[in-house]
Amino acid sequence: MGAVVGTLTMQTKQRRPSTDKADDDLEMTMVCHRPEGLDQLEAQTNFNKRELQVLYRGFKNECPSGVVNEDTFKQIYSQFFPHGDASTYAHYLFNAFDTGSTGSIKFEDFVTALSILLRGSITEKLQWTFNLYDINRDGYINKEEMTDIVRAIYDMMGKYTYPVLKTDAPKQHVDAFFQKMDKNRDGVVTLDEFIFSCQEDENIMRSLQLFENVI
């Protein structure tokens, strides 16, 4: 989760927010997709207007059209992992942001997900992460899905991070995941099992709190 939040927030601090609401509303009319108003987004997320202004300018700076397709998303995300191949993980991450399966991410999609990852409750953060791992969106995480996710993470981090990585390392991680999470040993992990197991793990709980004050 740290990789998700850290890379998605680094670009939002580039410019200082305007305090003039009229300026912000004017800027929002000058892109191909006009996002919802600040008042509505403030009500729907855990960000205040000033924070939304910072996020919007960072988003518009990277995506002047107001929407991000998957290829652009991969290009942006890969910049943070120059020694690895982030394309597969970015594909899964893009799908998690694109909750409507529209093939693009709007500012509302971006800020809603970021609100959960940065300011959401423990349960909300874990639900979002579960949905990321549940690739086929059937409500369960199976071993094939988890293997795909783990391999994508290893590819993304690259050889410099794992210089002595063994070929069976992803399988070992997946086996450990299911040993911990699959409480009833039925071969899949449900949302309830995932949340319960994560809440038992102090390291996971600490990682969920790392980025709460990043913006």
Could you tell me if 87 and 43 lie in one domain?
yes
Assigned domain for 108 exists: yes
User: Can you give the pLDDT at residue 37?
Assistant: 85
Instruction: Show which of 94, 120, 146 is a domain's final residue.
Output: 120
User: Of 105 and 30, which is predicted with more confidence?
Assistant: 105
Assigned domain for 114 exists: yes
Please compute the mean of the pLDDT values over residues 143-148 and round it to a whole number.
97
Please compute the mean of the pLDDT values over residues 159-181 and round it to a whole number.
79
**Domain range spanning residue 194?**
122-214
**Residue 214: pLDDT above 70?**
no
For the entire predicted model, the pTM comes to 0.79
Could you tell me if 183 and 130 lie in one domain?
yes
User: Of 33 and 108, which is predicted with more confidence?
Assistant: 108
Q: How far apart are CA 93 and CA 131, in angstroms?
A: 10
Could you tell me if 110 and 154 lie in one domain?
no
Could you tell me if 183 and 99 lie in one domain?
no
Could you tell me if 164 and 186 lie in one domain?
yes
**Residue 210: pLDDT above 90?**
no
89-101 pLDDT per residue, tens: 999 999 999 999 9
Number of domains making up the chain: 2
Question: DSSP string covering 111-162, please?
Answer: HHHHHHHHHS-HHHHHHHHHHHH-TT-SSEEEHHHHHHHHHHHHHHH-TTT-
Assigned domain for 202 exists: yes
99, exposed or middle or buried, with CB in 10 Å at 0-12, 13-18, 19+? middle
Q: Name which of 30-39, 58-67, 107-116 the model is least confident about.
A: 30-39
Could you tell me if 52 and 115 lie in one domain?
yes
Instruction: Show which of 103, 120, 137 is a domain's final residue.
Output: 120
Assigned domain for 33 exists: no
Could you tell me if 131 and 107 lie in one domain?
no
What lies within 8 Å, CB to CB, of 90 at 6+ separation is 70, 73, 74, 77, 78, 156
Q: Which two tokens stand for residue 52?
A: 């939304």
CATH of the domain at 139: 1.10.238.10
Instruction: Show which of 101, 120, 139 is a domain's final residue.
Output: 120
Could you tell me if 82 and 94 lie in one domain?
yes
Assigned domain for 13 exists: no
